[in-house]
Amino acid sequence: PAPGQASGAKKGAGGRITMGFAQVGAESGWRTANTKSVQEAAKKAGIELKFSDAQQKQENQIKAIRTFIQQKVDVIAFSPVVESGWDTVLKEAKDAGIPVILTDRAVDTKDTSLYKTFLGSDFVKEGKAAGEWLTAAYANEQGPVNIVELQGTTGSAPANDRKAGFAEAIRADGRFRIVASQSGEFTRAKGKTRAKGKEVMQAFLKSQKDINVLYAHNDDMALGAIQAIEESGKKPGTDIKVISVDGIKDAFVAMTEGKINVVVECNPLLGDQLMELAKKVVAGESVPARVETQEGVFPQDKAAAALPSRKY
């Protein structure tokens, strides 16, 4: 259709909507749950899904999006691995009249007409919740409190925002010091689950004498780091407090074992909401520019009760 024409007009035989989905990869338990949710929701909604896994590489995601454009899909959804560098390919989608839905992660662009909506969590809020838990937990303690930080994928929205939100929450209190901060890539490295979180934590334990707190931007890195802490002869959750984000089942198990102190939830089960939004944008209906996910904070003492009902 001509640009601007309702894209609903070009739906394939039987009026079935085709969605191209460019996923980040399979780096974490969160991501695996997110993929499953999108695939199941597409099936349920009768949407034909073309799914691509970019293995954490932006160039692969750009390639996938270009393929979707060539295939004339009705709608493109994707979770941008990093925030910057999307304008060109998103302009190509726009010129082809294909609406784009950002899922889970946002892009950094001045031109908000390049996508219809952004469905996902507020990562700054998550970072703040992590920092607020920490300031409350140490309300009656003396400083200094030495914090090491395991960041997510460099340049990704969740790494940038979880770092910023946390820093903001602890800034006013001089006792809190981030003594080391490095990327653990949210992994699950190839074949070796949680390799990077463990590896970077080992380096932290070598370079820092006195670590009081670990703040990990996701559970997989936290679980890897816990192994490193235990192997160094220290007790995770006690000698070193552990703060994590996501809320995968394994992290709840680690909380019930006393090894993680708090998990800030980030909900990966976005599939149904995504398919709802896709149907609307393909029909040319207006959708809110931002659809935020609902999530909570789970301190250790709430873990055992919550564990049976965790869905990912």
- The residues with which 306 forms a beta bridge, in sequence order, are none
Is residue 186 within the footprint of ligand GYE (CB under 6 A)?
A: yes
Segment 36 to 65, residues that bind ligand GYE, using CB under 6 A: none
Backbone conformation region of residue 73, classed left if phi is above 0, alpha if psi is from -120 to 50, else beta: beta
Is residue 83 within the footprint of ligand GYE (CB under 6 A)?
A: no
Q: How far is CA 222 from CA 32, 171, 216, 227, in A?
A: 17, 23, 5, 9
Of the ranges 22-30, 128-136, 189-197, 301-309, which one interacts with ligand GYE (CB under 6 A)?
A: 22-30
Q: How far is CA 305 from CA 37, 65, 102, 297, in A?
A: 24, 42, 34, 14
Of the ranges 24-32, 35-43, 193-201, 204-212, which one interacts with ligand GYE (CB under 6 A)?
A: 24-32
272 neighbors 243 (Cβ within 8 angstroms): no
CA nearest neighbour of 265 among 306, 226, 227, 237: 306
Instruction: Give the x-and-dash track for 109-148 against ligand GYE (CB under 6 A).
Output: ----------------------------------------
Residue with tokens 């820092």: 208
Q: How far is the CB of 250 from ligand GYE (least distance, A)?
A: 12
Among 61, 218, 244, 300, binds ligand GYE (CB under 6 A): 218
Among 158, 165, 197, 237, binds ligand GYE (CB under 6 A): 158
Is residue 266 within the footprint of ligand GYE (CB under 6 A)?
A: yes
Q: What are phi and psi of 257, to 5 degrees?
A: -90, 0
Please state, as a whole number, how many other Cβ atoms lie within 10 Å of the Cβ of residue 167.
Answer: 17
Is residue 295 within the footprint of ligand GYE (CB under 6 A)?
A: no
208 neighbors 180 (Cβ within 8 angstroms): yes
Among 27, 74, 83, 161, binds ligand GYE (CB under 6 A): 27
Is residue 184 within the footprint of ligand GYE (CB under 6 A)?
A: no
Among 23, 80, 105, 119, binds ligand GYE (CB under 6 A): 105
Q: How far is the CB of 162 from ligand GYE (least distance, A)?
A: 8
- CB neighbour class for 44 (10 Å; exposed up to 12, middle 13-18, buried from 19): exposed
Choose between 74 and 220: whose C-beta lies nearer to ligand GYE: 220
Among 104, 161, 199, 295, binds ligand GYE (CB under 6 A): 104
The CA-CA-CA angle for residues 157, 250, 228, to 5°, reads 80
Segment 228 to 247, residues that bind ligand GYE, using CB under 6 A: 245-246
Among 18, 31, 35, 300, binds ligand GYE (CB under 6 A): 31
Q: How far is the CB of 123 from ligand GYE (least distance, A)?
A: 7
The CA-CA-CA angle for residues 211, 253, 196, to 5°, reads 50
Helix axes 123-137, 157-170, angle to 10 degrees: 30
Enumerate binding residues for ligand GYE (CB under 6 A).
27-28, 30-31, 104-105, 158, 186, 218, 245-246, 266
